[in-house]
Structure 1
């Protein structure tokens, strides 16, 4: 396993840590983690495998393994807005206040991004979190630039902006404070109840056409959710989040993503109905994607938790991906192809029509944007406007 990195270590030091990967998983699932496997990333120059010498040393090693403790590393970033040039994604730029995500969702398409840090997309992705400490400062500088014009902005496209670290670090809140001051519209996607903490900011912006929140609800079954998304909010809590956001006047939608054959796919209509009853007005859904290292991680997880269904799940996934584990082509990657993908789309469209759920994203108002002073601190922009 990778050697430990002190929580205060600069993020640049992460790549310098010695790597000792296990070629294949050896241990039982870790409670509260999506995977126990420190899967080698695709850029690894070497791999190491433990071999049993006949004396039971592997069992001893497994028993002596330290718990998977989350380490948060503070990082100063040069920029905070990430541009999007993918034609099948609706936003222009995104803000990800963190890299990695402690929620540990086994299917997360963002797991391979940890490879660029020389860290495992497996266990490291959910235990080695990078926090972008100066995110709000960089955002203010960007919005103050004369060349900047308001764009469709999404918060949390490759991480959950309200994962556990946010409770103390409040980086996401500091970003929303800047957006609120500038009247810059944004959409946010999360599966955490932590978003309700910032309802004092998001609520007024939502009522002014400046904010929308999408809550990811992948299952109504607490047992499935617990092993699939171990540190995310429970399904019932997420429905409560939708209800409280809607009651506060925030446009709220539901993401039933990813749809996994024979696991949560049978729940598609029930999830949409529960979300609509809670107050969601919009919905979207994306089938399971297995890019790069996500595929072996997900298949290993299937064998651990649903061995009787693993072969059927993967066979159906491949039927919708041209016979492959993953299809990275624009357009088809978000929809899938073939008869089963078409059937799923029809089920989704008919359910949305029956429930009155709009399948289009909330249109936010860019016209209210006002540029901040470059060096402004919270509250200074309003004060300067009075003189």
Structure 2
């Protein structure tokens, strides 16, 4: 049986709240050291189909992300908190301090489907240095034998490399391109491409099953044949086992923020983007197939897999079996 899910961990607003004009998150959260602490009612949430990753369910200890990636598809979630999907998403980070306890409770009745970790915000962003939620998340998933993939851009993941390897986790490091000019423009708070390539090598050396999420490929900005080839070549040299390509998605929230930047930085591309994307924020099927096909061919040249990894079912740890 699947865990019943809700999007936000609080009840309907009271009459007192209704008279308070502050954003919902500021009325319901405890603000500590600049972070918004909220006691989550559930932590396993459905992954929007537009996200482009293989997993349909995710655990995200943090909402919002200091990496400030303009094309992040999770931006709309901040609107439900009374915040904007632009600067607020980058700077007002929501923390779920009870994430580990809630996860253990939900895993007790989980059906074993693979989970993604870190979809609503990088699970190893700066907030993790303060809250250290990930060791508990990894332990809970490992004991329950639930397959999971951690999505991150941060070298802080190396702190938990041993835990991840023992839990049989996959780590997908996001490297969409290796052009630093593009990175500084669209991922201003994230580590540089070379640092992430070195992270891949370090994870592989530590025995972690490491892949690269080549996402998002930016139409007309990072999708030229030589750009794709350079990225795949350097990913292969770093030792990644496979690449999972995802073309930029522009769901509501993300679309407005990204297109505002595009209009300022590359106004001649706005009309072409409007032609390429549908109302749901998906690129045209023909364009996406062409780009992912090119990347698949390049991966073949360098001996890497391409696309989502197969899910491997595992038996729960003996300690958990004793509780059943």
Whether TM-score is above 0.5 comes out as yes
Q: Whole-Å Cα distance in 1 between the matches of residues 261 and 236 of structure 2?
A: 31
Aligned partner of 2:228 in structure 1 is 268
Aligned partner of 2:42 in structure 1 is 79
Determine whether 1:343 maps to 2:290.
yes
SS of equivalent residue, structure 2 residue 255 = helix
SS of equivalent residue, structure 2 residue 182 = helix
Tell me the number of residue pairs that the alignment of Structure 1 and Structure 2 aligns: 298
Can you list the C-alpha shifts for 1:72-124, whole angstroms capped at 9, x where unaligned?
A: 11111111111358497522421011111111111111111111001111111
Determine whether 1:357 maps to 2:317.
no
Q: Whole-Å Cα distance in 2 between the matches of residues 213 and 222 of structure 1?
A: 23
Determine whether 1:138 maps to 2:102.
yes
Residue 282 of structure 1: how far off its partner (Å): 1.1
Q: Whole-Å Cα distance in 1 between the matches of residues 262 and 53 of structure 2?
A: 28
2:205 aligned to which of 233, 247, 250: 247
Aligned partner of 2:130 in structure 1 is 168
Determine whether 1:315 maps to 2:271.
yes
Residue 256 of structure 1: how far off its partner (Å): 1.5
Q: Whole-Å Cα distance in 2 between the matches of residues 94 and 16 of structure 1?
A: 32
Tell me how large the CA RMSD over aligned residues is. Answer: 2.8
Please tell me whether the aligned partners of residues 75 and 133 of structure 1 are also in contact (alpha carbons under 8 angstroms).
yes
Task: Give ranges in structure 2 of 5+ residues lacking alignment.
Answer: 1-9, 24-32
Q: Whole-Å Cα distance in 2 between the matches of residues 131 and 83 of structure 1?
A: 18
Aligned partner of 1:193 in structure 2 is 155
Determine whether 1:236 maps to 2:182.
no
Aligned partner of 1:225 in structure 2 is 183
Determine whether 1:184 maps to 2:140.
no
Please tell me whether the aligned partners of residues 162 and 206 of structure 2 are also in contact (alpha carbons under 8 angstroms).
no
SS of equivalent residue, structure 1 residue 175 = helix
1:103 aligned to which of 49, 57, 67: 67
Aligned partner of 1:216 in structure 2 is 174
Q: Cα–Cα, structure 1 residues 351 and 368, in superposed 2: closer, same or farther, change >3 Å?
A: same
Aligned partner of 1:64 in structure 2 is none
Aligned partner of 1:123 in structure 2 is 87
Q: Whole-Å Cα distance in 2 between the matches of residues 216 and 257 of structure 1?
A: 6
Q: Cα–Cα, structure 1 residues 89 and 271, in superposed 2: closer, same or farther, change >3 Å?
A: closer
Residue 353 of structure 1: how far off its partner (Å): 1.6
Q: Whole-Å Cα distance in 2 between the matches of residues 354 and 168 of structure 1?
A: 42
Q: Cα–Cα, structure 1 residues 135 and 275, in superposed 2: closer, same or farther, change >3 Å?
A: same
Q: Whole-Å Cα distance in 2 between the matches of residues 225 and 258 of structure 1?
A: 11
Q: Which moved more, 1:153-162 or 1:223-232?
A: 223-232
Q: Whole-Å Cα distance in 2 between the matches of residues 296 and 178 of structure 1?
A: 37
Please tell me whether the aligned partners of residues 147 and 314 of structure 2 are also in contact (alpha carbons under 8 angstroms).
no
Please tell me whether the aligned partners of residues 252 and 280 of structure 2 are also in contact (alpha carbons under 8 angstroms).
no
Q: Which moved more, 1:183-192 or 1:229-238?
A: 183-192
Please tell me whether the aligned partners of residues 92 and 153 of structure 1 are also in contact (alpha carbons under 8 angstroms).
yes
User: Normalising by structure 2, what TM-score?
Assistant: 0.82
Residue 369 of structure 1: how far off its partner (Å): 1.7
Please tell me whether the aligned partners of residues 256 and 285 of structure 1 are also in contact (alpha carbons under 8 angstroms).
yes
Q: Whole-Å Cα distance in 1 between the matches of residues 314 and 285 of structure 2?
A: 39
